[in-house]
Amino acid sequence: MRITCPLCGERDRREFYYVGDAVALNRPDPDAGDVVWDDYVHNRDNPAGVTRDLWYHESGCASWIVVTRNTVTHEVLETAMASDVKEATS
Nearest CA to 66 out of 90, 56, 89, 29 is that of 56
Burial of 51 (0-12, 13-18, 19+ CB in 10 A): middle
Q: Using 70 as the pLDDT threshold, list the residues of the chain that sit under it.
A: 90
**What pLDDT sits at residue 25?**
78
* Predicted model pTM: 0.81
**What pLDDT sits at residue 23?**
76
- Asked whether 27 and 46 are in contact (CB, 8 A), the reply is no
Decide: helix, strand or coil at residue 14.
helix
**What pLDDT sits at residue 90?**
65
